[in-house]
Amino acid sequence: MSIVLLTNFVGKYELSITEESGLKIQQYIDRLEVGFLRELFGLELYNLWNGSALPIYTDLTVPLVFQECGKIWESKGIIDMLTGFIYFEYSRDAYTQQTIDGAQKNEGENSLNSSFTMANLQGRYSDALTSYEAIQEFVCKNSVTYPSYKGVKKYPFIPFF
Residue-range definition of the domain harbouring residue 80: 9-95+115-141
Q: In this structure, is residue 38 part of a structural domain?
A: yes
Q: Is residue 88 part of a domain?
A: yes
Q: How confident is the model at residue 32 (pLDDT cuts 50, 70, 90)?
A: very high
Flag the least confident range among 41-45, 89-93, 112-116.
112-116
Pairing mode, strands 102-105 and 96-99: antiparallel
pLDDT value at position 117?
47
Q: How many domains does the chain have?
A: 1
Q: How many CB atoms neighbour CB 27 within 10 A?
A: 11
Reported confidence tier of residue 86, pLDDT bands at 50, 70, 90: very high
pLDDT for the residue 15:
94
Q: What pLDDT is stored for residue 94 in this prediction? A: 82
Give the residue-averaged pLDDT of 92-109.
65
Stretch 84-96: mean pLDDT: 89
Q: Which helix (H) or strand (E) holds 96?
A: strand 96-99
pLDDT mean over 123-131: 95
Task: Please state the rounded mean pLDDT for residues 46-66.
Answer: 92
pLDDT tens, residue by residue, 20-31: 999 999 999 999
Which of helix, strand or coil describes residue 76?
coil
* Domain contains 110: no
Q: Is residue 72 part of a domain?
A: yes
Evaluate whether residue 51 is within a structural domain. Answer: yes
Nearest to 94 by CA among 18, 11, 2, 4: 18
160 falls within a domain? no
Domain assignment present for residue 147? The answer is no
* Residue 69 confidence (pLDDT): 86
Confidence of residue 57 (pLDDT cuts 50, 70, 90): very high
The contacts found for 148-152 with CB under 8 angstroms, 24 or more apart, are 148/42, 148/44, 148/45, 148/48, 149/41, 149/42, 149/45, 150/41, 150/42, 150/43, 150/44, 150/45, 151/39, 151/40, 151/41, 151/42, 151/45, 152/39, 152/40, 152/42
- Position 158 in a domain: no
